[in-house]
Amino acid sequence: MPTLALIATGGTIAGAAASATDTTGYTAGALGADALLAAVPQLAGIAGIRAEQLFSLDSKNMAPAHWLVLGRRVQTLLDDDAIDGVVITHGTDTLEETAAFLALTHASAKPVVLTAAMRPATALSADGPMNLYSAACVAAHADSAGRGVLVSFGDAIYPALGVRKRETHRLDAFGGASAGAIGRTDPLRYFAPPAAAPRPLIALAPDLAELPRVDVLYIGAGTPPGLPDLLIADGARGLVLALPGNGSLPSAWEPPVAAAVARGIPVIRASRVGMGPIGRKAMDDRLGTHPAGELPASQARVALMLALAGGDATALDRLLADDYIP
């Protein structure tokens, strides 16, 4: 059997409540990796599991500093010839950002699979045990090799880039980019061969201590266009605009956005709409902005942070215009 590394980081999948009928008033990350494994003895029939507790977080408290620690630990495990794949348990709130970070900094053929849960482990019908079982099946499956970082949730398999949480309470909380799920786990199958070998946006430098600050601005009708100047003055080195519709930039925002770009502050046009790509427009050439492509604003922020950290001005355009996302 293959050997999988399980990295537990907390989240609802490790949550505990006083009552088995309580699915909202619980403490995330209360249980350790051993408790997660004990709830799924069937894992022993899939792979040997080496479990470790890296964090015990409610994922709303996940920060870029945690990504760096997790990313380096994942790389160490991927470099270990005794490890055939990595499974990461995480909270749902920021799973899409952690998944994007890992996808953009790792290029191993070995599977890295994130999973989570919408109900705490103590709930009558907790979804975490089955999600963990499915994620381990994905990580142990030969067809998962070469597909980069994946998210296994419910019965679906998604590529990390483009995935986003789309529901606040439903068990099928996640969706993918325009192409949707690339496979299912009931039974496990993929709909097509891997599109391309995974490629990192940047190599994760061993001495990288922090990521540059990038802020997301949600733009509503009449949102004042002076906000970019305030954020830049406060230390933001990049901006992601969650804009109406197809990344539609209000006319009043064009002068401050152009001024920010002229000052060396990269700006990404993303959408506040839940699904759909943001393509290149004439305004991008005129103002110097970058369309987010298939990335939600949350993941576009991660990509911009990494591009800035790598000091590669062309990396972001390669990501957003190339074939990173199926």
Cα–Cα distances in angstroms (integers) from residue 24 to residues 21, 133, 171, in the given order: 9, 23, 13
Residue 12 annotated among the catalytic residues of the structure: yes
Q: What is the largest CA-CA distance in the chain?
A: 60
Using alpha carbons, select from 200, 209, 90, 102 the residue that is nearest to residue 152. Answer: 90
In angstroms, the CA 285 to CA 242 distance is: 19
Give the pair of three-digit tokens for residue 170. 């439903």
Q: Residue 131 and residue 223: Cα distance in Å, rounded?
A: 40
| List 3, 9, 12, 314, catalytic entry | 12
Q: Which residue has the tokens 């804009």?
A: 243
Edge-to-edge strand ranges of the sheet holding 238-243? 214-218, 238-243, 267-271, 290-291
Report the first-to-last Cα separation within the chain, whole angstroms.
30
Residues 6+ apart with CB under 8 A from 269: 241, 243, 247, 249, 278, 281, 284, 289, 290, 291, 292
List the catalytic residues. 12
